[in-house]
Chains A and B, each alone.
Chain A
Amino acid sequence: MRIYLSFTIAASKMFFRRKSSIFWSLFFPVVTMLVLGNAGFIGYSAPNVGLFSTTANEIIDELKSSKSITIREYQSKDNALEALEKGTLSALITLNPDSKFIVTTRDGDLAEKEVVENFVFRIINQDIDPINNVSSDIAKMNYQGYKGFIVPGIAAMAIMQNGIFSVVFTLLSYKNQGVLKRLKAAPISPSHFIVGHLISRVSIIILQTFILLIMGVFVLGVSVGQGSFLAWLNILFLSFLGGILFLAIGLAISSLAPNEDSAPALANLVTFPMLFLSGVFFPIDFLPKIISYISNILPLTHLAEGIRLSALYGNSTFSTIPQLGITFAWLALSFFICAISFKWE
């Protein structure tokens, strides 16, 4: 027990004494988050308008063929409203059986309301009287714009980067310098060193997640957790789980890499696609189908989604079971690879 503790303390001291580790795990994600959060990409909320219809109507085809606005058709009104709340839609057009339109926009999004209403008027005004057939509906929603999207996204990204790279680079340098070999000459088992290192890194990852979210609250004005203590607890659980998962992936990468030059390359090969396909910087809802299959098996997708649900909607359920299942499958795979191929030298 004392040995685990000593390794944990030593690994933590070394982390905080290394300027580059502070830069990459704290400074860099904080700056990225603040810059992107303040930029508030307008394009993010403009292009997609949802359509929910319970009747067949030729106007629907007309709406869908429009080039000025991208129409996404939904089979369920709840799904469509959820997409509106998440920000993947900027407005929702509902066509009722009586051929009346309702344009739903979020509370406060006056520009979207006007644009989409005008659009609907323009499409239908040749045939029917717009005033009596189009009504608007303001939905009160906790939508926080792009900054609300990017804060949990960057927090998830930072968990992945810190988890993978802190293992790949530190283990690699210890290995190259012969530090691990000297440890092997001591009467301890390898697990002492590895576990101590992992405990230290997981604690740092949790700390980093909370620093990022709290910066999001105070600097960007994003509301996180929605006053739910359980939501924060869930974020704690998710950053712990995500930390363990990506540390294990980092360990697997360092075990699999044939030599010292290939390990960082392999780590980049693993992390780079996830940065873009896991909903860190932009939503994955409308990715082409084949890519969305890939997105859905990537662990970062589920981590980012889980943190986002807790942060923005106060969701306290430990994400959904299939998502956790995928995370645990990756975890098991990584530990399996480490167990069969970890080398001291």
Chain B
Amino acid sequence: MEMIKVLNLKKNYDDFEAVRGIDFSVTEGEVFGLLGPNGAGKTTTVEILEGLIEPSSGTATISGLDVVKNSKNVKKMIGVQLQSVNFFEKLNLFEIIDLFATLYSSTVNPDLILERVDLKKKRESYFKTLSGGQKQRLSIAVALVNDPKVLFFDEPTTGLDPQARRNLWDLIKSFQKEGKTIMLTTHYMEEAEELCDRVAIIDEGKIIKIDSPSNLIDELTLSGFKSQKKIKDATLEDVFISLTGKSLRED
């Protein structure tokens, strides 16, 4: 079943075309990645789907509901983690989750959500005292209050250390196991390779290619491409993790 469907979507800001007519669809339970350089139109596309900005033309639906005409109902069934978001400074984590649960008319127990993202110990802390990874996990926790069908993650691991990043990958994989549909933007190719079933490569507001990461790699190598670098059996990140361990450092 198609969970997200985007048809000829465009967004212009004055005379700048941020998104120039893109089409894609995401099936239920899939992890779909939007990859592209800065300014390619990733965040604009995601924010249109989240109902934060209106498209100039074209349509987008989530679970059959138009994101513009049915904005409120769409918002009720999606979970949103925005790029570089902050929360109320003088509310503790429990209160933040509790407040957002009310906004989504949800009766979920905030402690269970905090436990899910491994922040139970921090329930009395203020947002600004959290580390970068913890802030991202809180942002994800807030996205979970309405038990959403679809989750949007906009550059969730930017600026995190390798341990925190892997921790977040595990969390995202656990959502996929539950059957949630996930749409993710990232700059990190290894992240897309690790998490995404399919990726769309987007540049200057247009989608250049959509396929699974392994198909895209095969296509490139079949065309005769050879990596300049000799590929070894381990990466420097593997070395780093094996030396420093997988455990999170911030808690």
- Could you list which residues of chain A lie within 8 angstroms of chain B, going by C-beta atoms? 2-3, 6-7, 10, 13-14, 17-18, 173-174, 177-179, 181-188, 192
Contacts and interface: CB of A to CB of B under 8 A. Distances in A.
B91 A13 contact: yes
A2 B85 contact: no
Given A13-B95, A17-B90, A182-B142, A188 B103 contact: yes
Contact of A14 (B75, B82, B88, B100): B88
A187 B82 CA distance: 15
Interface of B: 50-52, 72-73, 75-76, 80, 82, 84-91, 95, 98-100, 102-104, 142
A179 B75 CA distance: 17
Contacts of B76: 187
A250 to B, nearest CB: 18
A interface, over-half SS: helix
Contacts of B86: 177-179, 182
A16 B182 CA distance: 39
B91 A187 contact: no
B202 to A, nearest CB: 21
Contacts of A178: 82, 84-86
A3 B103 contact: yes
B85 A10 contact: no
Nearest to A188: B103
A174 B90 CA distance: 12
A265 to B, nearest CB: 23
Contact of B80 (A3, A6, A179, A185): A185
Name the 4 nearest CB pairs between A and B, nearest first. Answer: A177-B86, A187-B75, A14-B90, A17-B90
Nearest to A189: B72
Given A177-B86, A181-B52, A185-B75, A14 B103 contact: no
Nearest to A177: B86
Contacts of B51: 185
Nearest to B139: A182
